[in-house]
Chain A
Amino acid sequence: MAATLVAARIQRNWLQRLSVIDIFLWAFRVAVLAAVVVGTFRTLYSGRYAGEVWIDFVVFGVSQGSVYALIALGYTMVYGILRMINFAHGDIFMCGAYTAYYAASALYRAGVFNRQPLLSLAIILAVAITASTSVALLVERVAYRPLRRAPRLVPLISAIGASFFIEYAVRGLYGSGFQAYPEFEVFKGKWNFFGIGILRTQAVVIAATVILMGLLYLFVMRTKTGTAMRAVSEDREVAALMGINVDRVIVITFAVGAAAAGAAGVLYALVFKQVHFFMGFYPGIKAFTAAVLGGIGNIPGAMLGGLFLGLFESVGPILVLDGLGIVAPYQLKDVIAFTMLVMVLIFRPSGILGERLAGKKA
């Protein structure tokens, strides 16, 4: 009986099954695809940009994407374990960059900054990582842990509160102006790789990200603590039954995510050369987009998602929007990023690599 009903439903004309929403979504897909194809074609056909410009945009996209990816790791790891979006994560990134600014200017005044650039960079990174991790652990202890058994919306609201708290605490302490980061003399100008000139700061950002990602991946995949993290994210109760101290693993997860965000803060400041109490907001939202894009809860997904987002954001405006005759397309890069977020949420909520997560929920 049931089988015949199902068969009848399948046999019904596809036109009858098409709802208004389906039509709208298909129109949306077609419109976006058409805009991308037409824009790309017209830009390339016009030949307005030379090869070098494209390389610059791609390199900038990759370095920007690296920063997004590092921040996205924190979102995705915490989500993997607690099924919660830590909306204060962008501000944890800001705390790292901001504290590193004080370390950097102190080193600059002491004259160490340019005499020992590598040592200085290491010190700044260490300061940033320490600051971000401390703030994250404090937030976890005060704003999230007491709510562990509360409905899922409650810690989310608490996270938004924590985000505002950190932003305005920093503003109250250090003021609302931009602080200029000192520049490394050695990182000014370009390096030549096989005839391709790459801005030195961007090369440093990309290299540092690759190293950090590698270390993090080894930590999660090869160490006992990393394996315990994956076990807890799969089944918290059984992990406890195996003798894993779940609270401790959660703290470590926050700490590792925050350390990555702190390092990202320094790299971000290397490129943009200034810090500000609100600087965590956009990178935070973008990194969240990257995490969703890659499949939230999935670590390689966050890396991939960050890279994709950085590239689309950097290349997209001139490749697509310029060809559509939009003036000053680069100002619309955020539109591209958030259009991607919306499209991922509508068409593929599990993200690029999110198959496993979707399967787990089912």
Chain B
Amino acid sequence: MTLLDVENLHVYYGQIHALKGITLHVDQGEIVTLIGANGAGKSTTLKTISGLLRPREGRITLSGLDLAALPAHEVVAKGVVQVPEGRRIFGQLTVHENLSMGAYTRTERDGIDGDLERIFTLFPRLKERRAQVAGTLSGGEQQMLAIGRALMSQPKVLLLDEPSMGLAPVLVEQIFETITGINQLGTTVLLVEQNAFMALQIARRGYVLQTGEIALSGSAKELQANAEVRKAYLGG
């Protein structure tokens, strides 16, 4: 069943035509990855889905519900949340305050407290540091916090923008394991990555983005085997 559906998306930065008709879909329960070089339009796609950028043309729907016309803060309430590139946690807020901001759109006290406990089980480090100012966390911990913060909104679809960026290889592996874990608990994931090798290992399907267009799509296995993909993104 298709959960998130993006059709013929055109986005401009002023005169620059950044996305030239992107069409993709994410089914319920999947991990789908969007790979491509720097500047191909991966982040732009996520920002448009999140409502930070307005498409000039095209449709974005979540189980049939139109998202393209909504402002960013309402998209979250509908169940699509993004972990932005470079983590961008609120450095001067405590870990606990960061997480509570993730649950900003929710009002049920009990549900929020329950989710907080779940996130602390998923990331015990965050529990230890819940009263600490988030800017003092290490890079890996900040990435955990960014993911935890997004999960606090109870998303149907989690958009992840380059979660491995700037992290040590050990941590990268850990973050990807976490993403798989979150997915197994029922959250659908759309993952943007430069680290195509890791992304294709955990994803079911993938899209290859090139200068604002989908150049290639298919199951993760197909893409891993594809000669062009191997050459361009997997190092031979």
Query: In the complex, are the beta carbons of A243 and B90 less than 8 A apart?
Result: no
Determine the distance from Cα of A356 to Cα of B135 in the docked complex, in whole angstroms.
11
Query: In the complex, are the beta carbons of A238 and B88 less than 8 A apart?
Result: yes
Residues in B whose Cβ lies below 8 Å from that of A240 = 51-52, 71-73
Choose from A227, A235, A243, A246 the contact partner of B88 (Cβ within 8 Å): A235
Choose from A227, A245, A360 the contact partner of B73 (Cβ within 8 Å): A245
Contact with B along A208-244 (1 / 0, CB 8 A): 0000000000000000100110110011011111111
Residues in A whose Cβ lies below 8 Å from that of B101 = 227-228, 231, 239, 242, 244
Minimum CB–CB distance for B176 against chain A, Å = 22
Query: In the complex, are the beta carbons of A227 and B93 less than 8 A apart?
Result: yes
Determine the distance from Cα of A237 to Cα of B82 in the docked complex, in whole angstroms.
11
Determine the distance from Cα of A231 to Cα of B149 in the docked complex, in whole angstroms.
13
Residues in A whose Cβ lies below 8 Å from that of B100 = 224, 227
Q: Residue of A at shortest CB range from B82?
A: A241
Residues in B whose Cβ lies below 8 Å from that of A356 = 92
Interface core residue of A228, A231, A235 (most chain B CB under 10 Å): A231
Query: In the complex, are the beta carbons of A242 and B149 less than 8 A apart?
Result: yes
Query: In the complex, are the beta carbons of A241 and B93 less than 8 A apart?
Result: no
Determine the distance from Cα of A224 to Cα of B152 in the docked complex, in whole angstroms.
15
Determine the distance from Cα of A246 to Cα of B149 in the docked complex, in whole angstroms.
18
Q: Given A224-B100, A224-B104, A228-B104, does the pair A241, B84 have CB atoms closer than 8 Å?
A: yes
Q: Given A227-B100, A237-B52, A238-B88, does the pair A243, B105 have CB atoms closer than 8 Å?
A: yes
Choose from A224, A227, A235, A243 the contact partner of B76 (Cβ within 8 Å): A243
Minimum CB–CB distance for A353 against chain B, Å = 13
Within 8 A of A (CB), among B60-85: 71-74, 76-77, 81-82, 84
Within 8 A of B (CB), among A309-362: 356, 360
How many contacts between A and B, using CB within 8 angstroms? 67
Q: Residue of B at shortest CB range from A248?
A: B73
Interface core residue of B51, B73, B91 (most chain A CB under 10 Å): B73
Query: In the complex, are the beta carbons of B90 and A230 less than 8 A apart?
Result: yes
Interface SS majority for chain A: helix
Determine the distance from Cα of A239 to Cα of B104 in the docked complex, in whole angstroms.
10
Q: Residue of B at shortest CB range from A246?
A: B73
Residues in A whose Cβ lies below 8 Å from that of B149 = 242
Minimum CB–CB distance for A228 against chain B, Å = 6
Determine the distance from Cα of A186 to Cα of B64 in the docked complex, in whole angstroms.
68
Query: In the complex, are the beta carbons of B92 and A243 less than 8 A apart?
Result: no
Query: In the complex, are the beta carbons of B84 and A238 less than 8 A apart?
Result: yes
Minimum CB–CB distance for B178 against chain A, Å = 20
Minimum CB–CB distance for A330 against chain B, Å = 41
Choose from A234, A237, A245 the contact partner of B93 (Cβ within 8 Å): A234
Q: Given A241-B81, A242-B102, A243-B105, does the pair A227, B97 have CB atoms closer than 8 Å?
A: yes
Residues in B whose Cβ lies below 8 Å from that of A224 = 100, 104
Residues in B whose Cβ lies below 8 Å from that of A234 = 90-93
Q: Residue of B at shortest CB range from A240?
A: B72
Interfacial residues, chain A to chain B (CB-CB below 8 A): 224, 227-228, 230-231, 234-235, 237-246, 356, 360
Interfacial residues, chain B to chain A (CB-CB below 8 A): 50-52, 71-74, 76-77, 81-82, 84, 88, 90-93, 97, 100-102, 104-105, 149, 153
Extra 7 A-B pairs, beta carbons < 8 Å, given A230-B92, A230-B97, A240-B73: A231-B97, A234-B90, A235-B88, A235-B90, A243-B73, A360-B91, A360-B92
